[in-house]
Structure 1
Amino acid sequence: MSELAVVSARSARLKVLAEAGHKGAATAIRLGENPGRFISTVQIGITLVGVLSGAFSGATLGSRLTQWLSAQGMTEPLASALGVGSVVVLITYLSLIVGELVPKQIALRNPELVAARMAGTMVVLSRICAPLVWLLDGSGRAVLALLGQKGSGNGTVTDEEIKTVLAEAQSAGVIESEESQMISGVMRLADRTARGLMTPRRDVDAIGVDDTVDEIREKLNESQHSRMPVRNGNSDEIIGVMPVKSFYDALARGADIDIRALTHEVPIVSDLAGAIDIIQSIRKTSQHMVLVYDEYGHFEGIVTSGDILEAITGAYQEDGEEEPALLMREDGSYLVAGWTPIDEFVEHIRVPVDDDPDFTTVAGYVLDELKRIPSLGESFVKNGWKFEVVDLDGRRIDKILVSPVPLSDPD
């Protein structure tokens, strides 16, 4: 029971108990940190109980039952076999039930509490049997070294294990499905770079520093954003961001409009910057926006606080016109927007993707597979799925139809 409880107990829950003042929880944590010594202690106890029960059952209870059967008129060989055999079977049965199955069931039902309560006893036993524990632990380490198993085991928690825990918590009703999706979104966010978060350059609404007031008003009326990047002439150079409110306030006062005076500088990040670094940069500016540039100094796009939120909760629709990222059809196929982030796509359709791919969207995945700009209707098969380009917006892949391929149809 102690062994299974300590092994099954989650360190996070034990830490909570320890912080609440439970001394046994802190002891259980220390036992878990040295599994070799702990397992050696447990094995000494198990072996000792097994040896004593075997010797006691055969030498004491078995002989007494044999004598009683002989007194009842049974022959000596039959009485000896039946007496010893019956005691061995009974002791084995009780050992399995009382010594194995029931304690393990108790340990599995509440491993942290059992581990905390039994940890003190195991420490005492370890100290009493210290020479044997040292011998067994050292011998075990030596054999592991001969087998090439040096060092400690890999106890890190993977993303898949966290997702499994979330799925179990959702099934048990501990958390809502929306909460689980947001937690998964936070995990995806931490793995993204600026290229996977930004609004690309071609989709960025911007005004020119030399635009007239009427041109600016027209662009602002067509845009729904509260801040507008300001471009230096016809180039891709972005000199900063202009709050829309500042423009209309100056217009209402009847003052001369000086776009440069209304423009605020914002941080610039690399297109390879991680999401955590981007969030820190956004928090440092009142405009809640950063500009993304590549290694050659070319403007690539922008990342706003809204982009960060969408990465966690999913894309928001604007006036009901925003297309869904992924739509499942009745025949089991999926209509996928080219801009769909590849990590969200992989969560729905288990297509193996490299840990650090050079693309961030499904359109990028298609381009990486084909190694060229595809034609309308072009397709390929990958890992049991057929990817067909069904809509192009110029040279940009707009829609992909992803369909399962029957096992009998390898092409």
Structure 2
Amino acid sequence: MSLGQSLFIIAALIAVSAFFSVAEISLAASRRLRLRQMADAGDPRAERVLRMQDQPGPYFTVVQIGLNAIAILGGVVGEGALSPYFSQLMGLLVDEPLAGRLGFAASFVAVISLFIVLADLLPKRLGMSAPERAAVRLVGTMEALLRVLGPLVWLFGRATDALFKALGLPAQRDERITSADILAMTEAGARSGQLAEREHEVIANVFELDTRVVTSAMTPREHIAWFQKDDPEATLRARILAEPFSTYPVCAGDLDQLLGYVDAKDLFQRVLNNQPLSPLDEGLLHKVLVVPDRLSLAEVLEQFRQAHEDFAVIVNEYSFVVGVITLNDVMSTVMGGLVDPQDEDWIVQRDAHSWLIDGMTPMADVQRTLDLASLPHEGQYETLAGFLMEMLRRVPKRTDTVQWEGFRFEVIDVDRYRIDQVLVTRHPVDDRPPPSLA
């Protein structure tokens, strides 16, 4: 066999090996969601690739048969074709016996290098750049090879299945997509610029609805504007002017004795029609939705849907009212940074290293703003005030401080045991004290 014929055979083997490399990486890297989109758009080849992914064993058996057979043939042909020429070249430098050994080694390295670069690295990089497109183009040829090599595929497949069973390994890959998978994909999309950072934030906030407790987004008890059942019209008007909200609970005596709620729109219509205002007037008082304080925001949304309401009163295990929540409060949690700063001013950044934060701010928002990797005793509190109480093990006073993860939390203002303002300062990287209490 001449040198030209040998090189032609080596080139053909490299091309076939490259085909199997692309076939292997394209099936493994193809995204099922993208393939499903292609199948729904009318490409039947995508449906066939999806079936291959459901049962990938025979497919990869054909790939490995092809790759290993070609590797052996390539070594045999390459050594026989190139060794004499490399031996002659080495004979110019060293003695004959050593030249033969060096020629064989050089031909081996040359053939291996060609196969690594041209039959493995290059085709796999090409396949990774557009795996779905490559997979649908090669699926027909791979199906034909599956039929031709059926007996060998069956034999190797049974042997492999027996090994999997003996070792207790799963034979099928888990195709379930979790919320963590979706968040990872959206984060990758945000980093690549395909997804806006704010869109990624909204998607992340949606998945937080299952973990955030309703108290993290509520209006706390001390900020609730409510009516007594026998309040005169002048008192109602004054309270609406002083505290303009969309909904007002109506109570008998105190806030824990709920009778229902009135909608500001109904009151506004009565004012326009020159009708008197009274919380107990027919058509004004609505039955209030009451939810426990341990529900998640996702569960509250479901309660809103079932009750056809957008307002709820939150009570604790002792049936005391701890706050109220509206559908807008939940959606503001989802929208996160998209909310108008005038409506969401619990966290105010003073400069690059300090923030002024309301004590009732949900700790999830504080953690996101400060980019804290972890929190101590997670699950024991919902707000920044709860975090400080947990760390201090008492009700904080003015000037109390807590150190955590390079941040200093200092209580600035306390109103009747309620933590109003906390100054958070980031320490320089080289001057971070260990976590401690002061």
TM range (shorter): 0.7 to 0.9
Q: Assess, with a 3 A threshold, how the Cα gap between structure 1 residues 194 and 135 changes in structure 2: closer, same or farther.
A: farther
For 2:212, the aligned partner's letter is: R
Q: Assess, with a 3 A threshold, how the Cα gap between structure 1 residues 53 and 303 changes in structure 2: closer, same or farther.
A: same
Alignment partner for residue 357 of structure 2, among 318, 321, 336? 336
TM-score in terms of structure 1 length: 0.84
C-alpha contact 1:65 1:84 (8 A) present in aligned 2: no
Q: 1:204-283 counterparts in 2 under 5 A?
A: 204-251=224-271, 253=273, 255=275, 257-260=277-280, 261=282, 262-283=284-305
| 1:352 to partner: Cα distance | 1.2
TM-score in terms of structure 2 length: 0.79
For 1:409, the aligned partner's letter is: P
C-alpha contact 2:289 2:309 (8 A) present in aligned 1: no
Residue in 1 that maps onto 2:414 = 392
Alignment partner for residue 94 of structure 1, among 104, 114, 131? 114
| 1:242 to partner: Cα distance | 0.8
* 1:47-86: CA deviation from partner (whole Å, max 9, x where unpaired): 122112122223x42477589989x9x9874674465444
For 1:14, the aligned partner's letter is: L
C-alpha contact 2:86 2:107 (8 A) present in aligned 1: no
Alignment partner for residue 17 of structure 1, among 21, 28, 38? 38
| 1:180 to partner: Cα distance | 2.7
Q: 1:69-88 counterparts in 2 under 5 A?
A: 77=97, 80-81=100-101, 84-88=104-108
1:57 to 2:73 alignment = no
Q: Assess, with a 3 A threshold, how the Cα gap between structure 1 residues 259 and 333 changes in structure 2: closer, same or farther.
A: closer
Residue in 2 that maps onto 1:33 = 54
| 1:263 to partner: Cα distance | 0.9
| 1:37 to partner: Cα distance | 4.5
Whole-angstrom CA distance in 1 between matches of 2:113 and 2:268? 86
RMSD (Å), alpha carbons: 3.5
* Greater shift in the superposed pair: 231-240 or 137-146: 137-146
Instruction: Give the paired residue count.
Output: 407
| 1:189 to partner: Cα distance | 3.0
Alignment partner for residue 222 of structure 2, among 202, 206, 221? 202
Residue in 1 that maps onto 2:322 = 300
Whole-angstrom CA distance in 2 between matches of 1:100 and 1:28? 22
Q: Assess, with a 3 A threshold, how the Cα gap between structure 1 residues 119 and 292 changes in structure 2: closer, same or farther.
A: farther
Q: Assess, with a 3 A threshold, how the Cα gap between structure 1 residues 62 and 305 changes in structure 2: closer, same or farther.
A: same
Whole-angstrom CA distance in 2 between matches of 1:14 and 1:293? 48
Whole-angstrom CA distance in 1 between matches of 2:291 and 2:250? 17
Q: Assess, with a 3 A threshold, how the Cα gap between structure 1 residues 266 and 392 changes in structure 2: closer, same or farther.
A: same
* 1:158-184: CA deviation from partner (whole Å, max 9, x where unpaired): 656544543443343323333233223
Residue in 1 that maps onto 2:396 = 374
Residue in 2 that maps onto 1:409 = 433
1:106 to 2:126 alignment = yes
Residue in 1 that maps onto 2:15 = none
Whole-angstrom CA distance in 2 between matches of 1:317 and 1:176? 18
Residue in 1 that maps onto 2:6 = none
| 1:199 to partner: Cα distance | 1.7
C-alpha contact 1:24 1:118 (8 A) present in aligned 2: no
| 1:100 to partner: Cα distance | 0.8
* Greater shift in the superposed pair: 253-262 or 365-374: 253-262
Whole-angstrom CA distance in 2 between matches of 1:194 and 1:54? 68
For 2:122, the aligned partner's letter is: V
C-alpha contact 1:229 1:240 (8 A) present in aligned 2: yes
* Unaligned ranges ≥5, structure 2: 1-21
Whole-angstrom CA distance in 2 between matches of 1:152 and 1:334? 50
Q: Assess, with a 3 A threshold, how the Cα gap between structure 1 residues 340 and 5 changes in structure 2: closer, same or farther.
A: farther
1:47 to 2:68 alignment = yes
Residue in 2 that maps onto 1:3 = 24
Q: Assess, with a 3 A threshold, how the Cα gap between structure 1 residues 249 and 93 changes in structure 2: closer, same or farther.
A: closer
1:177 to 2:201 alignment = no
